[in-house]
């Protein structure tokens, strides 16, 4: 129990009496504790540890609208390859920020969070060593509405079915894709709610595969200003863009 003398001294010095929370390493922690909306910090080592996913799910039940900031650690990267599958994360995770501050990831593997129907927003930051994204990245994430590519500035190659059939996305911003040279088939294919597409980041893009923006029937604004280096375009480019 805090003595009266200590309380008076703290008040005179302007010090806080609130204790700082201490969390186990396998548990997610919250940053900015004084705010109603904050974020939950966790590493991949903690996520994949025993009870790590369950602990994160519990935190999200208490704070369902907070971002989860997931930091990639060495244990989850194999020969430069990293991926997540939909069952690796809790079903109540809606807002995900993923970061690679130690430059561990060279390639994101196939089917990254494919068919995750719970993700609403996704942001990638600090992927300074990432060169390639394999097939099926965030494909068929039906409730995804916001995708932020600002951390993918070193990325050169995008595989097939990137954001394929993400029916909730309305705007696409390519500003993070300044090093991308090749895009595989079915890029943003069947994103029926997409209304605005911005190509300004694709300044070195040379090759686009088949079915680029195929079936994006709601598209009303298409900015091609970034396609200055484009050499090859596959079949069915923008096919079916008008409803």
pLDDT in tens, 81-93: 999 999 999 999 9
Residue 175 buriedness (CB in 10 A; 0-12 / 13-18 / 19+)? middle
Tell me how many degrees the CA angle 28-30-35 measures, rounded to the nearest 5: 160
Helix (H) or strand (E) holding 99: strand 95-99
Listed range (25-29, 115-119, 162-166, 181-185) with the worst mean pLDDT = 25-29
Residue-wise pLDDT tens digits, 30-72: 655 444 345 899 999 999 999 999 999 999 999 999 999 999 9
Confidence label for 241 from pLDDT (cuts 50, 70 and 90): low
CB 210 within 8 A of CB 184: no
Residue 214 CA to residue 186 CA, distance in Å, equals 7
Q: How many CB atoms lie within 10 A of CB 11?
A: 10
Provide the sign of the torsion angle of the four alpha carbons 116, 119, 205, 235, taken in this order.
Answer: positive
Distances in whole angstroms, Cα of residue 82 to Cα of each of 102, 108, 132: 13, 5, 11
pTM of the predicted structure, to 2 decimals: 0.84
CB 57 within 8 A of CB 90: yes
Classify strands 207-208 and 182-183 as parallel, antiparallel or unpaired.
Answer: parallel
CB 243 within 8 A of CB 220: no
* Residue in the block written with tokens 């598209």: 219
């Amino acid at each position: 129990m805090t003595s009266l003398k200590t309380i008076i001294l703290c008040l005179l010095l302007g010090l806080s009496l609130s204790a700082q929370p201490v969390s186990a390493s396998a548990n997610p922690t919250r940053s900015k504790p004084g705010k109603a909306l904050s974020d939950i910090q966790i590493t991949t080592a903690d996520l994949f540890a025993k009870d790590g996913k369950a602990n994160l799910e519990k935190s999200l039940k208490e704070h369902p609208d907070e971002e989860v900031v997931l930091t990639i650690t060495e244990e989850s990267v194999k020969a430069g390859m990293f991926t997540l599958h939909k069952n690796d994360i809790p079903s109540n995770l809606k807002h995900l920020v993923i970061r690679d501050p130690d430059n561990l990831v060279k390639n994101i593997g196939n089917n990254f969070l494919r068919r995750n129907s719970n993700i609403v927003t996704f942001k990638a930051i600090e992927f300074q060593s990432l060169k390639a994204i394999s097939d099926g990245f965030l494909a068929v994430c039906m409730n995804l509405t916001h995708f932020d590519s600002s951390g993918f500035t070193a990325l050169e190659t995008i595989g097939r079915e990137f954001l394929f059939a993400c029916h909730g996305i309305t705007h696409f911003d390519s500003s993070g894709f300044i090093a991308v040279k090749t895009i595989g088939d079915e890029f943003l294919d069947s994103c029926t709610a997409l209304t605005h597409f911005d190509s300004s980041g694709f300044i070195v893009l040379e090759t686009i595969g088949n079915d680029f923006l195929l079936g994006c029937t709601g598209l009303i604004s298409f900015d091609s200003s970034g396609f200055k280096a484009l050499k090859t375009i596959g079949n069915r480019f923008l096919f079916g863009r008008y409803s």
